[in-house]
Structure 1
Amino acid sequence: MKSFVIGLFLAAVVLVPPLHAEPFTTAAPIALVIETGSGTVLLDKNADKPVEPAAMAKIMTVAVVAEALRKGQVSRDTEYLISEDIWRKGGAPSGSATMFAAVRSRVRVDDLLRGVMVQAANDACLALSEGLTGQLEGLVPRMNTLAAEIGLQHTQFRNVTGFADPAQLTTARDLARLLGWLRRNEPDIYAIYRERDFTWNKIRQTNRNPLLTQGLGVDGGVTGASDTAGYGVVVSAVHGDQHFIMVLHGLQSNAERASEAKRVLEWAENSFRPRLVFTKGEIVGEASVFGGTANTVPVVTDRDVSMLVDSSGTERLSAKLLYDGPLEAPVRKNSAVGRLQILREGQVSLEIPLYAAADVPVGSLPQRAFGAIYELGIGLIQGGHDKR
């Protein structure tokens, strides 16, 4: 895959920083903030590092139950038994997050979902799994299958609660993708995340999402913590016409998680403005072509491309055109030929596909021969550089 730095075509969107501009930082060892409408990555700190999801794994438990509801395999009024095994491992005796469901009682799926999504209740997770499959961890295979279908490339589930397991791993990027998927595909179930409290067995518990009542437009999210991974949170928030998903993980305490999550989300919502980078059909750059009537082909986007840029004008953007090259003729107009990466502080902030803006037919024999000689010469030059 060849990589070409674009200067001329991106000149209109490059912002030169003042001499003492300081990039935004967070105390969280792992952090990711995405504005989903444009696809702009605003903050990426170890977003692909494997980490235990802790209770944030419950998002996938909810997702597979929502899928079963949509397929008619169960209804929200179906009642499941709270077995003694569920009660001991996830109920009051467990000392973990629980909805305090009474042993041998029967609880509706609708209430169990509220237990999971508002209270992070482990007994509710286990009851849903045992009710649907007959086994406490019977939903795990479906969780992993759905993870693959969604495109969670670095996630593996081992239980339905998020209890610590060294083999249960995810990344901040996968968690953001999972929450976004649930929000888009299961909006009726996702809406439960907005509820501020839930009472069961005469015990009222408030939502564990620390940002839900902070006036930041948060419409859902999950927290999680473990001794090994630290404190984490993944939230979704709407601010005007923009939608953000934020993931922080590895913080030292519940208090630090709450304060840092608020600070990072406020920064994301208030520090950027949308900017049109390229219009549909605008030439972005050129890709080399081998064996054609032309040595290059212009490349374009198939849509208007906007992204969020720093409102203060204190950052510098750069871009790379990436493709497997040279392209081999014939090249068809509108065929996908590569992708454009726009970088902020050296990290990919936006990636978009690129398409050929013209046809490049197969060239004549002399043209192909000249192209072969040219490519051989380039290869020798690159080989010589590689030996230095």
Structure 2
Amino acid sequence: MNISRFAKRLSLFALLITAPLAQAAQDQMIPSPPQLAAKSYVLLDAASGKVLVENNGDQRLPPASLTKLMTAYIATLEIRKGKIGEQDLVNVSEHAWRAGGAASGGSTMFLPLNSQVKVDDLLHGIIIQSGNDASIALAEYIAGSEDAFADMMNETAATLGMKNSHFMNATGLPDPEHYSSAHDMAILARAIINEDAAHYAIYSQKEFYWNNIKQGNRNLLLWRDKTVDGLKTGHTAEAGFCLVASAVREGARMITAVFGTANEQARAAETQKLLTYGFRFFESQTFYKKGEELTQATVWKGLTRQVKAGLTEDLTLTLPKGQIKQLKAAMTLNPQLQAPLKQGDVIGKVEVKLGDEVVHSADLVALEPVEEGGFFRRLWDSIRLFFYGMFN
């Protein structure tokens, strides 16, 4: 054989073999995350809730006005429950006026003492203007006092899984027992975004005009990055400059929480680094939606022979770009399901694998109840199950 031709064939064969391997390696390569000039930070994928980058993410730190994310979240919860209305008039107490008004020297909506202000205006004043007076007034209206509202804040934090947060007030004014973490604030931001799109739209507003005073949103990224649509800034001497932000690009949403930067410009710049890294190197995919029928399982001794199976939560995964297409999902069902079954009973499992590694698992549940069948159905199935057990 011609040696030159053989060498060319060998080179081509080597190229065909190594090219897919090189591509696979390239797909899985991901650079180290940026190191931010901040005390603590987290990058979280909104769809899956997965933390992609963190540094001291669970460290308990003063959250300053990031506290008002919880204040606003509870207010919108109360609105959705019908316990308060957006057009309700709220009295501005002396406590709200003195502790949070213009004379206090902090962020304020400039509410006059004993004036009455609509809940909707207060909500805008909290989110856009970071008004301490608006936060206290709304807290008192919801719970009767700011102390009682702080109890609501802590109960809500526990419900959301915010394990490193404790609130003493509605504003974020310094208190030794008032703290949160970057991870917890990212969790709270995800709840705000996912649960109430209508009120979340307020966080993208660049300014609010009230009582002949126009104030701008302090989130500089709203002006610098058109993909950013929220959330909230915070600053005290102890906390430094903090920012919780979120952006959407090509249908994917990222959430960042950055604590303790040096100044207003730094918190925006450091946050931008995290967002750029997340969108550049990660991708998400929803494999199954909650409540969607994925398969049917056989039921013994029931009025029906089959039950619909699905998930209680969306199955969404976030991985380095290139790995999503390599995932494979498989379902296993309990082979001896017996009636009665309640809606939500666990009847199997879904596993998602990357090669041989299980990267995620979730329970399959009954999407509908199945009642017991009649006497003869139960008797016949008992006999069948006896022989099924003998030969399996």
- TM normalised by structure 1 equals 0.68
Distance 1:47 1:331 in 2: 43
Residue pairs, 1:202-281, within 5 angstroms:
202-273=212-283
Matched, 1:352 2:363: no
CA RMSD of aligned residues (A): 3.7
Structure 1 residue 198, shift from structure 2 partner: 0.4
Matched, 1:102 2:100: no
Inter-CA distance 336–60: structure 2 relative to 1 (3 Å threshold): farther
SS in 2 for 1:238: strand
Structure 1 residue 17, shift from structure 2 partner: 10
Distance 2:111 2:282 in 1: 45
Higher relative contact order (CA 8 A, sep 6+): 1
Residue of structure 1 equivalent to 2:9: none
Larger Rg: 2
Matched, 1:82 2:92: yes
Distance 1:124 1:82 in 2: 8
Give the stretch that moved more between structures: 23-32 or 301-310.
301-310
- Of 109, 126, 137 in structure 2, the residue corresponding to residue 127 of structure 1 is 137
Matched, 1:36 2:57: no
Residue of structure 2 equivalent to 1:164: 174
Whichever residue aligns with residue 167 of structure 1, its letter is: E
Q: Per-residue displacement from partner, 1:48-78 (whole Å, max 9, x unpaired)?
A: 1111211111111111111221222211111
Matched, 1:308 2:319: yes
- Of 53, 56, 75 in structure 1, the residue corresponding to residue 63 of structure 2 is 53
Whichever residue aligns with residue 154 of structure 1, its letter is: N
SS in 2 for 1:97: coil
Whichever residue aligns with residue 193 of structure 2, its letter is: R
Distance 2:183 2:69 in 1: 14
Whichever residue aligns with residue 60 of structure 2, its letter is: P
Q: Per-residue displacement from partner, 1:100-134 (whole Å, max 9, x unpaired)?
A: 11122111111000000101100000110122233
Distance 1:18 1:220 in 2: 31
SS in 1 for 2:221: coil
More helix by share: 2
Distance 2:353 2:40 in 1: 22
SS in 1 for 2:38: coil
Distance 1:222 1:195 in 2: 11
- Of 68, 72, 76 in structure 2, the residue corresponding to residue 62 of structure 1 is 72
- TM normalised by structure 2 equals 0.67
Quick check: 1:102–1:201 contact (8 Å CA) kept in 2? Answer: no
Distance 1:17 1:70 in 2: 44
Distance 2:286 2:160 in 1: 29
Give the stretch that moved more between structures: 20-29 or 73-82.
20-29
Residue of structure 1 equivalent to 2:197: 187
Structure 1 residue 245, shift from structure 2 partner: 0.6
Inter-CA distance 340–79: structure 2 relative to 1 (3 Å threshold): same
Distance 1:44 1:103 in 2: 43
Structure 1 residue 247, shift from structure 2 partner: 0.8
Structure 1 residue 84, shift from structure 2 partner: 2.5
- Any stretches of 5+ residues in structure 2 without a counterpart? 1-20, 288-310, 324-333, 338-345, 365-388
Structure 1 residue 22, shift from structure 2 partner: 5.2
Quick check: 2:28–2:320 contact (8 Å CA) kept in 1? Answer: no
Distance 2:283 2:276 in 1: 14
Inter-CA distance 202–154: structure 2 relative to 1 (3 Å threshold): same
SS in 2 for 1:173: helix
Distance 1:246 1:255 in 2: 16
